[in-house]
Amino acid sequence: MLGPVILAASRSDRMRRLISAAPVTKQVVDRFIPGETVDDIVPIIEELTGRGLELTMDVVGEDITTPEQAAAARDAYLTLVDRLKELRLGERVEMSVKLSMFGQALEGGHELALANVRPVVEAAAAIGTTVTLDAEDHTTLDSMFAIHEELRKDHPQTGCVIQAYLFRTEADARRLAGDGSRVRLVKGAYKEPAEVAYQQKHEIDKAYVRVLLTLMEGEGYPMIGSHDPRLISIAQELARKAGRKPDEYEFQMLYGIRGEEHLRLAAEGHRMRVYTAYGTDWYGYFMRRLAEKPANLRFFLRSVISR
């Protein structure tokens, strides 16, 4: 029951101000968002890649309100690419972007987001890596998929995310399972109405397996974005049945969640990519992590109260 309440709060400006100002917040936030600047994050990139992990980097931020903020988001990613170029890690470190941070919700937002994300995709390609478009709430997805298709004309390795909780996703997966596509499958992290999305965990999990089967049997490159041990072992089984080699799919998990499992899968020879977020506009990202696991909220509240 708590999850939907926290997700509603993740969109509230009042709650944003309240929680961002709580003195203890930073300690708790650091578990999921381990830095604010590129300088903070470079040692973390070096440490994780040194342990055999791959990364997808997210500069946190979403739902911006001016074109200037969208341009600043683009520039933050371009600064990151400059640093990645020095590290020479190629596709071991890719980037994830939220189009709402690139201006998608503003007037003329579809074109604006495309214009802002294109240089990031081009800069990534120039250093041998790529970009994945995150999936946000369901109202944004037609635009996201159209931008994805447009970017793939010049950069076919550009990835996108699909969410198992949405009814539309099985059809999206069939469309996206072709040769050369890179698709991350996740359960879905937004508060979605019953008209468009499964509401029960068991229904979402079943849909996840159906969609994963489509991706595994397809020609593309599936990216399994989940911490769920059951789904991870089902994914291994489906990959085996589909005759996929370990470099023909990958696992992805979030920084700060089940870290020992990241290392275990990598040690077993799997490609394991850690979604690592950094930046100052962490509120929406942080609240979704609290909503996924109420124990995180209890820990957060205890920290506030015990101060």
* Beta carbon nearer to ligand FAD, 44 or 85: 44
* Beta carbon nearer to ligand FAD, 85 or 99: 99
Closest approach, Cβ 153 to ligand FAD, in A, equals 22
Alpha carbon distances (Å) from 107 to 18, 26, 66, 85: 29, 34, 10, 34
**Cα(3)–Cα(214) distance, rounded to whole angstroms?**
29
Closest approach, Cβ 184 to ligand FAD, in A, equals 6
**Cα(241)–Cα(244) distance, rounded to whole angstroms?**
8
Residue 136 makes CB contacts below 8 A (sequence gap 6+) with 62, 98, 99, 100, 144, 190
Residue closest to 271 by CA, chosen among 32, 56, 80, 43: 56
* Beta carbon nearer to ligand FAD, 82 or 149: 149
Residue closest to 276 by CA, chosen among 12, 46, 104: 46
Rule CB under 6 A: which residues touch ligand FAD? Answer: 134-135, 161, 163, 186-190, 225-228, 252-254, 257-258, 275, 289, 292-293, 296
* Beta carbon nearer to ligand FAD, 66 or 193: 193
Closest approach, Cβ 262 to ligand FAD, in A, equals 10
Buried residues in 199-226 as b, exposed as e (16+ CB within 10 A):
eeeeebbebbeebbbbbbebebbbbbbb
Per-residue DSSP letter, 135: P
Residue closest to 175 by CA, chosen among 238, 218, 235: 218
Closest approach, Cβ 231 to ligand FAD, in A, equals 6
Closest approach, Cβ 78 to ligand FAD, in A, equals 21
Instruction: Read off the tokens for 207.
Output: 């849909």
> Residue 166: what are its φ and ψ, rounded to 5°?
-85, 140
* Beta carbon nearer to ligand FAD, 22 or 209: 209
* Beta carbon nearer to ligand FAD, 126 or 146: 146
Closest approach, Cβ 110 to ligand FAD, in A, equals 18
Active site residues per annotation: 134, 184
131-133 and 159-163 strand pairing: parallel
